[in-house]
């Protein structure tokens, strides 16, 4: 820029010198030539010169502008060089990252291959799961059908249960009314536990009786043959469960005790523990049944009350009947088992047998009361 400015100053000074010389030359020319035509030509030349000078000045201005543009371009080139270097550095870094990315891509490709293998296995498992799912769906459908059937059955059962509940409520109401009526009639209810305890005590007394008198040595008063004949005549041989050896051995004692218990039990079942009705005669029972049946058709409650009152009138007859049965049973037991007992112990055996059978009467008493209530 400084070089161009110095050139322009030098050209101006040279122009001024040239103009002065030219004027002097023209003056001299006018003087020499003195020709007007030549002067006009010279004027045109001067005008052309001015025009050329103007063009030259314009070109100089354009050159200065070009120089300025070149300077600007140089600045832009410097900036581009800096940008190029920056881009080169960035490219180097990007290349390094691309190289790293290539390695990472290989790793990703390897992982992708592994994942594809796993995907294949998962697909196989999925296919297997689909088949299992289809089976489970079918099983679920069957379960739903079963559940539907169960619900229907439950509904039917619920209806039946509600119906049974209504029936039970009605039965309970009827039972309450019957309980009140039974209480009003004075009816007895058998206590099974008490009854079982009574019979248990009675059976224990029978066992102790048999053990005391038959789990012993045989009486010395008779020989074996005589004892065999007496046992046959008394009926012991027929009633015994099996042939019993006649001796004083321990097994024979056990067998005699067991046979005695069996015979006592048979007599009790045959004579005492059996159902009987009062009045005893058939004609009296038929007459009483006829009256009770007519009253039953009119009023069942009055029939029950009258029947209890009527049967209570036979209490003495019942006691006499039971006493007679007990005495006859004692005599039968003593007759059958007497040959196995020493003569001096037969009195004690008869007394204790009577006490044991009296226990059977006490055990039988609640059953007798219940039988009188239910007898018609």
End position of a domain, from candidates 32, 63, 97: 97
d(CA 237, CA 336): 9
Q: Does residue 255 form part of some domain? A: yes
Short-list 238, 239, 209, 206, CA closest to 341:
209
Distances (CA, A) of 167 to 155, 158, 160, 174, 291: 18, 14, 10, 10, 35
Backbone angles phi, psi at 218, to 5 degrees: -70, 150
Distance of CA 116 to the CA centre of its chain: 43
d(CA 48, CA 223): 200
Distance of CA 237 to the CA centre of its chain: 67
Q: Is the pTM of this model over 0.85?
A: no
Q: Enter the tokens of residue 4.
A: 């161009």
Per-residue pLDDT reduced to its tens digit, 206-229: 788 777 777 777 776 667 777 777
d(CA 266, CA 72): 149
Instruction: Tell me: do 351 and 203 sit in the same domain.
Output: yes
d(CA 202, CA 273): 13
Instruction: Tell me: do 340 and 227 sit in the same domain.
Output: yes
Instruction: Tell me: do 74 and 218 sit in the same domain.
Output: no
Instruction: Tell me: do 223 and 342 sit in the same domain.
Output: yes
Question: What mean pLDDT is predicted for residues 106-126?
Answer: 85
pLDDT bracket for residue 304 (50, 70, 90): confident
Q: Does residue 161 form part of some domain? A: no
The range of the structural domain enclosing residue 364 comes to 192-278+314-374
Per-residue pLDDT reduced to its tens digit, 40-95: 676 778 788 888 888 888 888 888 888 888 888 888 888 888 888 888 888 777 77
Return the SS3 of 299. coil
Instruction: Tell me: do 340 and 228 sit in the same domain.
Output: yes
End position of a domain, from candidates 50, 71, 97: 97
pLDDT bracket for residue 279 (50, 70, 90): low
End position of a domain, from candidates 47, 65, 97: 97
Counted domains in the chain: 2
Return the SS3 of 351. helix
């Amino acid at each position: 820029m400084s070089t161009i400015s110095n050139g322009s100053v030098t050209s101006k000074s040279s122009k001024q010198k040239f103009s002065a010389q030219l004027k002097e030359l023209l003056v001299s020319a006018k003087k020499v030539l003195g020709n007007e035509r030549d002067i006009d030509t010279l004027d045109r030349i001067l005008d052309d010169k001015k025009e050329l000078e103007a063009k030259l000045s314009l070109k100089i201005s354009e050159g200065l502008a070009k120089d300025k543009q070149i300077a600007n371009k140089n600045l832009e080139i410097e900036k581009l060089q800096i940008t190029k270097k920056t881009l080169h550095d960035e490219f180097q870094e990007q290349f390094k990252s691309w190289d790293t990315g290539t390695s990472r891509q290989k790793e990703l490709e390897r992982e992708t291959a592994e994942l594809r293998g796993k995907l294949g296995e998962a697909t196989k498992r999925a296919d297997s799961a689909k088949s299992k799912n289809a089976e489970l769906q079918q099983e679920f459908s069957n379960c739903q059908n079963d559940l539907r059937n169960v619900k229907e059955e439950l509904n039917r059962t619920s209806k039946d249960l509600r119906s049974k509940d209504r029936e039970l409520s009605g039965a309970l109401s009827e039972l309450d009314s019957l309980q009140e009526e039974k209480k009003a009639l004075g009816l007895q209810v058998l206590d099974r536990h008490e009854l079982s305890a009574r019979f248990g005590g009675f059976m224990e007394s029978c066992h102790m009786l048999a053990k005391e008198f038959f789990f012993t040595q045989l009486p010395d008063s008779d020989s074996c043959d005589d004892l065999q004949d007496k046992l046959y005549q008394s009926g012991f041989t027929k009633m015994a469960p099996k042939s019993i050896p006649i001796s004083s051995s321990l097994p024979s004692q056990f067998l005699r005790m067991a046979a005695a218990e069996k015979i006592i039990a048979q007599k009790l079942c045959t004579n005492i523990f059996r159902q009987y009705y009062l009045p005893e005669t058939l004609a009296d029972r038929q007459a009483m049944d006829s009256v009770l049946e007519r009253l039953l058709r009119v009023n069942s409650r009055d029939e029950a009350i009258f029947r209890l009152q009527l049967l209570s009138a036979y209490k003495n007859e019942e006691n006499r009947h039971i006493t007679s049965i007990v005495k006859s049973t004692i005599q039968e037991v003593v007759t059958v088992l007497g040959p196995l007992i020493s003569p001096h112990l037969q009195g004690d055996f008869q007394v204790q047998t009577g006490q044991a059978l009296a226990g059977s009467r006490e055990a039988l008493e609640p059953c007798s009361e219940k039988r009188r209530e239910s007898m018609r």
